[in-house]
Amino acid sequence: MIIVMATPTIEQIDRVLEKLHQHGLEASSLQSYGKTVITAIGSSQTQDPGFYERMPGVEKVMSIVTPFKLVSREFKQENTVVTAGSAVFGGQSIAVIGGPCAIESYEQLHETAVAIKQAGACMLRGGAYKPRTSPYSFQGLEQEGLNILKAVSKEVGLPVISEVTDPRHVEGMSDVVDMLQIGTRNMQNFALLKEVAKCRKPVLLKRGASSTMEEWLMAAEYIMAGGNENIVLCERGIRTFETYTRNTLDLNAVPMVKHLSHLPIIVDPSHGTGNWRLVNPMSKASLGAGGDGLIIEVHPCPEEAVSDGQQSLTPGNFQQLMTEIQVIAIAMGRNII
């Protein structure tokens, strides 16, 4: 931690040094040009800039330690590989999850599952509890949706993932799905994160639409500190001023997160663009950036979808995508199926 003081008195400097000492931090100070700069080093848990920012004479306080520990590359050098049912994230293969935004019926989900499995997807997605901006929009089939998901998973032979939105649902959903999804609106729903940490189920942690990479890694830290190490990160687009796309897919996050953390990272180009035409090129871009996988919205009839039809691929589009990204995966030294 660095504490910059502007023309402080000796008493003010002493007070800061004393407080650092109380918190068990080692400190040194340097004075010049009217500024006094205090460098403090020690166990990171005790370093909260907020304790010092309002002390008399202090101009600003800067943290020099990364706030995340367990998820950091420094803590663990080698890449983490997460297994959820038969799906593997972070290994040699690119993992592709496909399926509808919302489960609408057995027929819809079954038809999609068969198609994506044949095209090479390793996991089926389907929402049963849908967080919707409007209380008047379709909120998901809820428990009935989970029943359908369970049945289709068994029949088609694909592991499944579904979004959990309520800490009271974590236990029940864990019996049904192979992987729990934390959606973008719940990335900082700490009550939910703590519950998911306890259940030890593999987790797909989507980035909050307005979250920095640091906040995202801190959310993963919550899960890991709570005892669940099976975390896959998912970049899904951030909120910017641009309006031609629904979100701005931040592919910088892929190599940056890989630099900072040992966790696998996949990309959601469906929400990241909000436009089915961009899903194919941005899937290729995601692999080029070094992503470990993709999660793609697929619907047998997008124009009849009750949610997010404009960003869903048809089974035919998805089959073509899988064929085309196979070549990119190989060029990146990886493979898909």
Whole-angstrom Cα distance, residue 25 to residue 20?
Answer: 5
Residues 36-75 that bind a copy of itself (CB under 8 A): 37, 39, 41-45, 48, 50-55, 60, 62, 64-65, 67, 74
Burial class (CB in 10 A: 0-12, 13-18, 19+), 51: middle
Task: Give residue 290's region: left, alpha or beta (phi > 0; psi -120 to 50).
Answer: left
Residue that the structure tokens 């070094």 belong to: 290
Among 252, 316, 335, 337, binds a copy of itself (CB under 8 A): 252
Q: Residue from 30, 77, 78, 175 that binds a copy of itself (CB under 8 A)? A: 30
Q: Does 26 bind a copy of itself (CB under 8 A)?
A: yes
Q: How many residues bind a copy of itself (CB under 8 A)?
A: 106
User: Which residues ranging from 137 to 196 are in contact with a copy of itself (CB under 8 A)?
Assistant: 137, 165-168, 185-186, 188-191
CB 224 within 8 A of CB 276: no
Residues 143, 245, 319, 320: which binds a copy of itself (CB under 8 A)? 245
The span of 25-33, 82-90, 92-100, 151-159 binding a copy of itself (CB under 8 A) equals: 25-33
213 lines the binding site for a copy of itself (CB under 8 A): yes
Q: Interface residues for a copy of itself in 75-114 (CB under 8 A)?
A: none
In the complex with a copy of itself, the residue whose CB is nearer, 44 or 319, is 44
Contact 232, 216 (CB under 8 A): no
Strand runs (DSSP E) across the chain, as ranges? 2-6, 26-32, 35-41, 58-62, 82-84, 87-89, 95-99, 123-125, 160-163, 179-182, 203-206, 231-235, 265-267, 293-297
Q: Which of 9, 22, 210, 335 binds a copy of itself (CB under 8 A)?
A: 210
Strand order in the sheet with 26-32: 26-32, 35-41, 2-6, 58-62
Question: Which range, of 88-96, 120-128, 142-150, 236-244, touches a copy of itself by CB under 8 A?
Answer: 236-244
Q: Which of 250, 319, 320, 334 binds a copy of itself (CB under 8 A)?
A: 250
Q: Would you say 235 and 205 are in contact if contact means Cβ atoms under 8 Å apart?
A: no
Q: Is 229 near a copy of itself (CB under 8 A)? A: no
- In the structure encoding, which two tokens stand for residue 206, read together? 């989507």
DSSP state of 74: T
With beta carbons less than 8 A apart as the criterion, state whether 71 and 262 touch: yes
Q: How far is the CB of 249 from a copy of itself (least distance, A)?
A: 5
- In the list 9, 22, 28, 92, the residue contacting a copy of itself (rule: CB under 8 A) is 28
Position 128 contacts a copy of itself (CB under 8 A)? no
